[in-house]
């Protein structure tokens, strides 16, 4: 069964994803559960429009990009290992610009 989730971008991260801030997506069916680590790989292959190095570094997000899972800092949720649940809202906010 596909897994419906909501992905949002802010702080300029949306510029790498076709300038669209909110994306309702269905993650394809797979045997094991979806983790954020899997999600990042999937986003890189299916959603990222330009300059992937500004979003992904190695297997995680580029340092300086905040990740929130249902409005909680992902550092409290297990980061890459977090098991994504149905209808989760995952937000990526870039801090890497002038202020």
Partner 1 sequence: MWAERPRGNALCKECFFHAFEEEIHHTIVHAELFKRNETIAIGASGGKDSTVLAYVLKLLNDRHDYGVNLVLLSVDEGITGYRDDSLETVKRNQEQYGLPLKIISYEELYGWTMDAIVKQIGLKNNCTFCGVFRRQALDRGALMLKVDKIATGHNADDIAETVIMNVLRGDIGRLRRCTAITTGTDGALPRCKPFKYTYEKEIVMYAYFKKLDYFSTECIYSPNAYRGFARAYIKDVEKIRPSAIIDIIHSGESLSVKKDIRLPVQGVCERCGYISSNAVCKACVMLEGLNKGLPRLGIGKTHKERRKMQEMLQQETGAADSTPCTDQSLKSSCKCENKTDQSECSSQTYDSDNASGCSTYSKSQKCKDGCSSTNPRTVAKEKLSIFGKLKQPPSIDF
Q: Which residues bind partner 1 (CB under 8 A)?
A: 10-12, 15, 62-64, 66, 68, 71-73, 75-76, 91, 93-99
Alpha-carbon distance values, 62 to 16, 40, 91 (Å) = 13, 11, 14
| Nearer to partner 1 (CB atom), residue 23 or residue 62 | 62
- Min CB(42)–partner 1 separation in Å: 22
| Nearer to partner 1 (CB atom), residue 38 or residue 79 | 79
| Nearer to partner 1 (CB atom), residue 19 or residue 45 | 19
Candidates 38, 47, 26, 25; CA nearest to 79 is: 38
Query: SS3 of 49, please?
Result: coil
- Min CB(93)–partner 1 separation in Å: 6
Separation of CA 5 from chain center: 10
| Nearer to partner 1 (CB atom), residue 2 or residue 64 | 64
Alpha-carbon distance values, 28 to 15, 35, 40 (Å) = 25, 13, 14
- Min CB(98)–partner 1 separation in Å: 5
């Amino acid at each position: 069964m596909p897994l419906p989730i909501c992905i949002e971008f802010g702080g300029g991260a949306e510029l790498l994803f076709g300038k669209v801030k909110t994306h309702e997506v269905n993650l394809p069916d797979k045997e094991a559960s979806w983790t954020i680590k899997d999600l990042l790989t999937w986003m890189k292959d299916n959603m990222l429009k330009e300059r992937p190095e500004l979003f992904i570094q190695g297997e995680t997000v580029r340092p300086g990009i905040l990740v929130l899972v249902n409005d909680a800092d992902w550092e409290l949720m297990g980061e890459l290992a977090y098991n994504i649940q149905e209808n989760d809202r995952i937000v990526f906010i870039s801090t890497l610009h002038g202020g």
